[in-house]
A and B are shown apart, each in its own frame.
Chain A
Amino acid sequence: MNIQVDLTESNNVLEGYIAGEIDAHTAPVLRGKLENYQSYQGLEAELDLSDVNYMDSTGLGVFVAFYKSVNSNGGHVKLKGLSARLKRLFDITGLGDIMDIESVGKEGN
């Protein structure tokens, strides 16, 4: 039950690396950190999820909220390195169609 969230921002470009599990316990940590940037105008965010080994719907909610506010401020969110399991979660929820996501194509476990 732990999570690592590293975010660095310069010139309105946000680079993020997230590792571990995103569930009801850890999601507030992630939400708190992302909220610091979501009101930037025209933010270009790129979050690397390749070391996220578990995410449930609470985690999904955090990314959607972030996506919605960045979008409404004229910015863009890209999620990359999604495992097959994570990719499925985004596809089922229809978020895969509206969000910019990139999977690694490896089997999740």
Chain B
Amino acid sequence: MIHEIENQYKEILNEYMKKQSEQNLYVGQNFSRQLILENIAPEEVISMHKGAIQELYGELPDVVWHSFDFLIEMMISYGLALQERQSLLRQQEELKVEMDLAANVQETLLKTKLPLLEGLDIGLLSIPARKMNGDYIYFVSEHDGYAGVAVADVIGKGLPAALCMSMIKFGMDSLSSSQALPKDVLSVINRIVEKSVDDSMFVSMFYGSYDAKQARLTYGSAGHEPAILYRAKDSEFTELYSKGLLLGVSPAAVYEEHTVDLEKGDLVIMMTDGVTEGRNEEGFIEREVIYELIERKKEQPAQTIVQYVYDELERMQNAQFQDDFTLVIYKKV
């Protein structure tokens, strides 16, 4: 094979030496592509050139041969570096493909269906800052007038976080009752995460169970950003604080739960810290700013409010979210 290539090269070179035409050059350029395909290293090309010159012209001054030897030696390290680079590029490409696959799997795995509940309008938006989403949102619904919602944020990013999330999903599925109590849900998931996740990975989670008949939300939190309640009748925002440790820190953690009854026009705003921890050159975007955005659109459907908050925060941060963004709004209608 090599011999054949050497002969071909000699021919091409010989033709060029005779005529030095554009056409000859073009043939040479095409031939170099074939060399790349055949994985011929740069020093081999030079060595091939040296051989061809020797065969075509025989005697030439020693300086010419020495110069070729020098060039060959030099190109050996060049060739090694090139090889390394190509193999890195290949690996990178493989990683990218795997990452895309993982992101796809994640998307399929974490697909969740908005529950249909009498008198409740739900808006939802979850946008990852990078390829994999470290935020997690999941609805448990059995069409029995109840629905559970979990909003979670895995501390730790990328692939490990995504894997951790599928664990939470299976934990949630195994509970699989829309009437399950938040304190029970949180302590079950806590034990799962505590057993199986490495020491620097934790999950914060808000869990709310909504009873449509009584318009009552029962909620608990495992170290999660408090949900916010907007009371339409007095136009006020309050935090729905509920004590509880991050999931995965201690198996003994105990979770509180509280209830709130919603009236027409009330909003419950659930989110991850990607919403509240936004900042730009002027500093942090304060929670009051988010309240103001929501108040401006409070008469609109929940999805419109959610989208508006996202668009405005994106604008304030020059379209650069540092963290995954997840926002869910329940609106009592």
Residue numbers of A with Cβ under 8 A of B are 23-24, 31, 54, 56-58, 60-62, 64-65, 68-69, 85, 92-95, 97-98, 109
Contacts and interface: CB of A to CB of B under 8 A. Distances in A.
B155 A58 contact: yes
B246 interface: yes
B157 to A, nearest CB: 6
B249 A92 contact: no
A65 B200 contact: yes
B145 to A, nearest CB: 31
Contact of B199 (A23, A60, A69, A97): A69
Interface of B: 153, 155-157, 199-202, 204, 222-226, 243-246, 249-250, 253, 273, 277, 279, 283-284, 322-323
Given A56-B277, A58-B156, A93-B245, A65 B199 contact: yes
A95 B223 contact: yes
Given A57-B204, A62-B200, A109-B283, A68 B155 contact: no
Given A24-B157, A68-B249, A95-B245, 17 more contacts: A23-B322, A24-B322, A31-B200, A56-B277, A56-B322, A57-B273, A61-B200, A64-B199, A64-B200, A92-B225, A94-B223, A94-B246, A95-B223, A95-B249, A97-B245, A98-B245, A109-B283
B198 to A, nearest CB: 8
Contacts of A94: 222-223, 243-246, 249, 253
Contacts of B253: 94
A58 B249 CA distance: 14
15 contacts: A24-B157, A31-B200, A56-B322, A61-B156, A62-B200, A64-B199, A68-B249, A92-B223, A92-B225, A93-B204, A94-B223, A94-B245, A95-B245, A95-B249, A109-B283
